[in-house]
Amino acid sequence: MSYRYEGSDNIGTTAVAKISATVPSGTTAAIIGHTGSGKSTLMQMVDALLLPTQGEIQVGDLTINAQTPKKELVNVHRRVGYVFQFPEKQLFAPTVLEDVAFGPINLGRSEEEARQAAKETLAALNFPPEQLDHSPLELSGGQMRRVALAGVLAMEPDVLILDEPTAGLDPAGQEELLRLVEGLHQRGITVLMITHQMDQVARLAQQVLVLNGGKLAFDGRPADLFAQPDLLEQNHLAAPQSVAFANRLKQAGINIGAPLSLSKLAAKIAAQVGGGHNDE
Amino acid sequence: MMNSRVLFGSYVPMNAPLHRLDPRLKLVTCFWYVVLVFFARGPWTYLMLVAMLAGMIGLSKIALRLYWTGIKPLIWVIGLTVAIQILFSSGGHVYWHWGLMAITSAGIAQAFVILARFILIVLASTVLTATTPPLRLADAIESLMRPLKKLRVPVNQIAMMISIALRFIPTIMEEVSTIVKAQQARGVDFASGSLYTRVKRMVPIMVPLFIGAFRRAEDLAMAMEARGYDPDQERTRYRQLTWQRPDSIVLAVVVLVSALFFLVLAFT
């Protein structure tokens, strides 16, 4: 599908052009690409926040195209959760609990059910229960991010879009968030994650979409992407640490492929040193 | 509506003769034009005003369609004012009346005058804002206010405030759009509901917007201080305003036309 931003005087910009891709449900897919490559536009179309100017999007059994009536878009919003970049900016309610319950209430749940869902989600995210009636604006940055995330997760989406979820978090907060994404994957939720961190791609994603200038430059497994240094360079992407290290070894004449994590890298090197043969 | 890039009063980047004129001249001429609109009486003077406006629009080289998109959002305001004028003014022949409301010949004539003034003024100011980038306008305001410095008016600070306000309009529009989308994603249905629920739905947009604006203001103030901003310091500027020959010609034309305007006014 395509999307075009209309400007004044017919000067429009095509943000996303003729992209066609399928993400099987239950997959964690990473969406990567340079700033302005159309990642956010693409994701906003998946949540029907923007309608494609051409083509269509299928989310579960819902189809979105330019003609979809506005009333039906709400069904998509209810199915897809979207955690925007710096989601803590959208907190507004007087207390943490009310903010998290806002989404479930919009889904048509009763006040009681919504509060229950909010409490459970916050508990699952290790949010201290004694702070439930605090103002979300008094919290620390990491806690605010957690509340904002809970606000989306409490709606129990089938598909979750995360736009650079770890931006601006300290290392511990980042690690916690990545664990959370792993947990969501285990629960069978489809996760679409925009990120600039290749190590996150290597660690979490089963599928990776590379966008460049609004076009789909790659769609496949992370291992296949990182095994192609030329492709990475064309799209201004870096390799994950482990792959970068393996590439350096390759230049030195030792080929151990493209291991996606530091532990795999270590195992490969150990095999290389110990067994003296390459099992890739 | 929120995402529309064509806004009333937005700059249309081009290199037309009117774009190149000194912003001070354009600002003063626009003010002067509004003054003339209020002086105008009788068909000839209005005709002159229309001709002047046509000249300005011609020199701006901007398609009429864009001016139309500029006026469109104001149609309700204009319509309401005209309706009130027709219904609530008295005098002349009475065509219809009901309680306090009446349609009279004087009322209709008055309504026409109001309508004409409205359209002329809105169009003239649209010509100004469409051909002058906001920051140039701010420079012009500062330059024109400079004599007030003698009266201890903080001209520099006012100019800085205007430019900062202008600078952040697109940023805030962008932010509104993000917040609206984020709350839509959380299941807010902006498309339906009674007036009350619709107003209530503004809360999740307005609160984050204001918090964000205050936070941004604080950050900006801090950043300016960190870079040693001193409001009382004499400043040099990157964009220089230079008066050139075309400016003098246009000024002469404005003076001549104005003289002609008052002559016509005096003899009709």
Q: pLDDT tens digit string along A63-101?
A: 888 888 888 888 888 889 999 999 988 899 999 999 999
Chain A residues in contact with B212 by the CB 8 A cut-off are 89
Write the CB contacts of A229 (distance below 8 Å, at least 6 apart in sequence): A239, A247
- Tell me the per-residue pLDDT of B19-54, one tens digit each, with 9 for 90 and over: 889 999 999 999 999 999 999 888 889 999 999 999
Cα(A114)–Cα(A120) distance, rounded to whole angstroms?
A: 10
Q: Do A77 and B207 touch (CB under 8 A)?
A: no
Q: Pick from A73, A87, A106: which is nearest to B182 by CB?
A: A87
Q: Distance between terminal CA atoms of chain B?
A: 46
In degrees, rounded to 5, the angle at the alpha carbon of residue A148 between the alpha carbons of residues A15 and A146 is 120
Q: What is the pLDDT of residues B57-88, one digit of tens each?
A: 988 888 888 788 777 878 888 888 888 888 88
Mutate to test the interface with A, among B4, B67, B172, B186 (most CBs of A within 10 A): B186
Q: How far is A47 from chain B (nearest CA, A)?
A: 7
Q: What is the DSSP string of B130-149?
A: HHS-HHHHHHHHHHHHGGGG
Domains of chain A with bracketed CATH: 3-222 (3.40.50.300), 240-280 (no CATH)
- What local confidence, expressed as pLDDT, does residue B111 receive? 87
Which residue out of A90, A153, A158 would a mutagenesis test of the B interface target, given it has the greatest number of B Cβ atoms within 10 Å?
A90
Q: Which residues of A70-99 are buried (b: 16+ CB within 10 A; e: fewer)?
A: eeebbebbbbbbbbbebbbbbbbbeebbbb
Nearest CA in chain A to B188: A106
Tens digits of residue pLDDT in B161-195: 888 888 888 888 889 989 999 998 888 877 777 77
Residue type, B155: V
Q: Measure Cα distances from A200 to A30, A217, A248, B51, B171 in Å.
A: 9, 19, 21, 65, 30
Closest CA to A15 of B12, B182, B3, B7: B3
The domain ranges of chain B are: 1-133+241-268, 155-230
Please choose, from the candidates B178, B159, B179, the residue with its C-alpha nearest in 3D space to the C-alpha of residue B167: B159
ipTM over 0.85: no
- Can you say whether the dihedral through the CA atoms of A199, A21, A66, A161 is positive or negative? negative
> Which residues from chain A sit within 8 angstroms of residue B203, using beta carbons?
92
B232-B237-B240-B241 Cα dihedral, nearest 10 degrees: -20
Out of A49, A74, A151, closest to residue B189 by CB: A74
CA atoms within 13 A on the CB side of A171: 0
Q: Do B191 and A152 touch (CB under 8 A)?
A: no
For residue B149, give both structure tokens.
Answer: 């410095």
SS (HEC) of B206-249? HHHHHHHHHHHHHHHHHHHHHCCCCCCCCCCCCCCCCCCHHHHH
Which of A71, A89, A106 lies closest to B186 in CB terms?
Answer: A106
Binning pLDDT at 50, 70 and 90, where does residue A113 land? very high
Chain A residues with at least one Cβ partner in B under 8 Å: 5-9, 44, 47, 49, 70-71, 73-74, 77-78, 80-82, 84, 87, 89-93, 102-103, 106-107, 137, 151-152, 155
Q: Full-prediction pTM beyond 0.95?
A: no
User: Could you tell me which residues come within 8 angstroms of residue B64 by beta carbon, excluding any fewer than 6 positions away?
Assistant: B57
Q: Assign residue A57 a region (left: φ > 0; alpha: ψ between -120 and 50; beta: otherwise).
A: beta
Set of chain A residues whose Cβ sits within 8 Å of the Cβ of B6: 8
Residue-wise pLDDT for A6-59, tens only, equals 443 334 556 777 788 888 889 999 999 888 888 888 899 899 888 888 888 888
Smallest CA–CA separation between A131 and chain B, in Å?
20
Tell me the mean pLDDT in the region A241-268.
82
Residues of A tagged active-site: 164
Beta-strand (E) ranges in A9-122? 13-16, 28-33, 56-59, 62-65, 80-83
Secondary structure element (H or E) that encloses residue A5, with its range: strand A3-5
Contacts of A84 in chain B (CB under 8 A): 178, 181-182, 185
- Residue B208 has its nearest CB partner, among A44, A82, A89, at A89
Do β-strands A207-212 and A215-220 pair in parallel, antiparallel, or remain unpaired? Answer: antiparallel
Instruction: Report strand pairing: A159-163 vs A80-83.
Output: parallel
Alpha-carbon distance A219 to A210, whole Å?
7
Residues of chain B neighbouring A78 (CB-CB closer than 8 A) = 187
